[in-house]
Structure 1
């Protein structure tokens, strides 16, 4: 286990007296975060890049995917120190992107067009950084929602989000009164989750399967081990009042539609662009581009969300917690990183925090709660949308601690539990 150094000697008495306390000490100010009682946080590293998704190997090596290449590197390797912090010891991959995942001795990473994998050795380090195996190539990229988030199941399958390169599939995107295109052509190659083989090189669309459709953009996704199912967080559509002022006022547009969690099975259709979910009415609504008026419910075989959250908060990370460090209430529940809003005016902007969604028997159960807050720096910065840090990626360490990435300044956080359980 990692040991605290003399630099954090003030915490050694607590560590010695409490066998449930992790062997790393939080920063004196908990890295600036507001956390539930008993939890602490430390800034693991300052990467200086736009840190998107992250992965931690069973040996504790941290891999960070950068949105943009920094100093010729799109993936950073961080090795843990005795203090629980980490040092950037290398980097590789000459491409930006979002996806990062560790599974069965491989590191998987995505650019906005492709998915790669790298073999890990017994130390949890990439054996040959210069020889990433190209698994999937030629994925659709437009002017928005370009990130390709990834996750693997337990049967050798790789799942890739391919975001819709539009807000609501209008004839003229994000234009007032522009109608939706019938049988939205975007859905042929985007707006859903595609399934590929995790060990087959050089795959394209023709080798994959459109696993689920009707998903505008998914950045956060994870495999729920408890019910062996894919869960995703969708970014809801924008600009209801801007584009359809005859049906929606600004206040409605600020809070609608929901950011939705979906539990997916093959063939599911979540409804984009034809529908959206109204979390206030608890109804799937017909989109205004396709004949809706803010009151008309959708008809059709569309998947209802497993859980719904306030609109425009941008869920960029999803993680099912399977560790034993945190209290039992967190076991098999979901952490969600909300990156933060930009279009909730005239309401205050919102998000910029990590929330916890309780699960029971593999299904959401009970009200979600804010778990880690104040990434933005202050309530005023949150309300104005001028956050210092924006949580994006989530990963679980081998000891059960929770890692959070920040794609604003590149800070990597680690949250630990200090109190008796």
Structure 2
């Protein structure tokens, strides 16, 4: 049997080269209120063309002309928006939101992009693709020294796939970081037809899961952290459920079942499988990647073809089950439990999920490009998921066959101080505000 280590694993991958250990990131911030070129738009009513339930409407907060990923909003209406990549040296943009929802004051700082951003206990937490920082806030929740953050986590692994580090904090002083798999399914040769899985998948020692660190300790890395949960290919959307004090995550399912193993999967089946799964995660849980995937039609965990599966072999133990299974290849990028008071009672403590849309659905039309809602009761799903906000792609007739056809792609979700729901778009940088009124 071959003796695989991390370097040999990554060397075997044709699409996950340059997977780095202990990346040293030179951090240099800019002044908080430095001007950034953004296009803003104010709308008195619903001019967004979104499809929403009765009594809901939406306005456009801003058109950033930059890929807006996750965001965080303060009680004072200050919005911190994380960009996929820095623009003019600024990876976090600062907007002041007025009562009408329009962006007012603008600033920016941080020379890194990515997804992770979170407000908690007087700090703004933000992640690059290999490190996590925190910024002290004043009593107005403004960053005090944007060019002097504290580095609390460093040396996290990244590859050319699934490199962003989404984050969330619990109520006990811990921060949770997604470290996505740099490979699609842990093959000896990534995404190559017929290539089998590496025994034991050694990359799970440092990727493909959620790691827990202390939220107030400097310069932590793997040695000071805990592999909280494993077997998660890539989690972009995650949130902490306050009802049952538990972490929930949205996993991106694996790609290319037909392309890699056409003897077991035809194109139609491959375009629908596997499910995009919501998991309720506890310490020590294993969701099964890359050894299994979840079939939402059979409602079963299936043995992955790289590890001896054939589309028929089920696994009935060892790995946790999802609490919700969405259709495949819709790319869930945002998860938010609604704790506001603006929306009707049925939305209270329920989960909103932003679907960014994937690429691996050929020959079927694209899917996603919407925000879904899952009702919850006592910290668990209590009914079927439903489409809440749709038509982000603004397709004018015909079928959406490529992500490039989508005008907007939902990514981040945040709760405003008034209870409104904010949605970012990482195609063009539009930010939507969804409100309820009778």
Query: Do they fold alike, i.e. is TM over 0.5?
Result: yes
Q: Indicate which of 302, 306, 322 corresponds to 1:285.
A: 302
User: Retained in 1: the 8 A contact 2:275–2:326?
Assistant: yes
Q: Does 1:387 align with 2:417?
A: no
| Structure 2 residue 173 is matched with structure 1 residue 156 | yes
Q: Secondary structure at the match of 2:422?
A: strand
Kept in 2, the 8 Å contact 1:109–1:116? The answer is yes
Say yes or no: does 1:351 pair with 2:371.
no
Secondary structure at the residue paired with 1:31? coil
CA contact (8 A) 2:67 2:427 kept: yes
C-alpha separation in 2, matches of 1:80 and 1:183? 49
Give the 5 Å matches for 1:361-380.
Answer: 361-378=378-395, 380=398
Identify the residue that residue 42 of structure 1 maps to in structure 2: 59
The answer to whether 1:200 aligns with 2:217 is yes
- C-alpha offsets along residues 222-253 of structure 1, whole Å, 9 cap, x if unaligned? 00001100000000000001111111111100
Output aligned runs, 1:87-236, within 5 Å. 87-236=104-253
2: CA distance, partners of 1:407 / 1:87: 21
8 Å CA contact 2:365–2:399 kept in 1: the answer is no
The structure 2 residue matched to 1:404, chosen from 400, 411, 423, is: 423
Structure 1 residue 314 and structure 2 residue 321: aligned?
no
Checking the alignment, whether the CA contact within 8 Å between 2:69 and 2:83 is kept in structure 1 is: yes
Q: How far did residue 173 of structure 1 move?
A: 0.4
Partners of 1:27 and 1:43 within 8 A in 2: no
126-135 vs 330-339, greater mean Cα deviation: 126-135
The more displaced of 113-122 and 157-166 is 113-122
Question: Counterpart in 2 of 1:28?
Answer: 45
- State the superposition RMSD in angstroms: 1.2
1:102-151 Cα offsets, whole Å, 9 max, x none, are 11111111110101111111112111111111110110011100010000
Unaligned runs of 5+ in 2: 1-41
Shift of 1:83: 2.4
TM-score after normalising by structure 1: 0.92
1:235-278 alpha-carbon deviations (Å, 9 max, x no partner): 00000011111111111000000000000000000000000000
Residue by residue, what CA displacement relative to the aligned partner does 1:337-364 show, whole Å, maximum 9, x if unpaired? 0001211111111000001011111101
* SS state at 1:140 partner: coil
TM-score (norm 2): 0.88
2:258 equivalent to 1:266? no
2:257 paired residue number: 240
2-structure distance, mates of 1:318, 1:98: 12
Q: Secondary structure at the match of 1:32?
A: coil
SS of equivalent to 1:335: strand
- Mapped contact 2:362–2:401 kept (Cα < 8 A): no
The count of residues paired between Structure 1 and Structure 2 equals 395
CA contact (8 A) 1:151 1:159 kept: yes
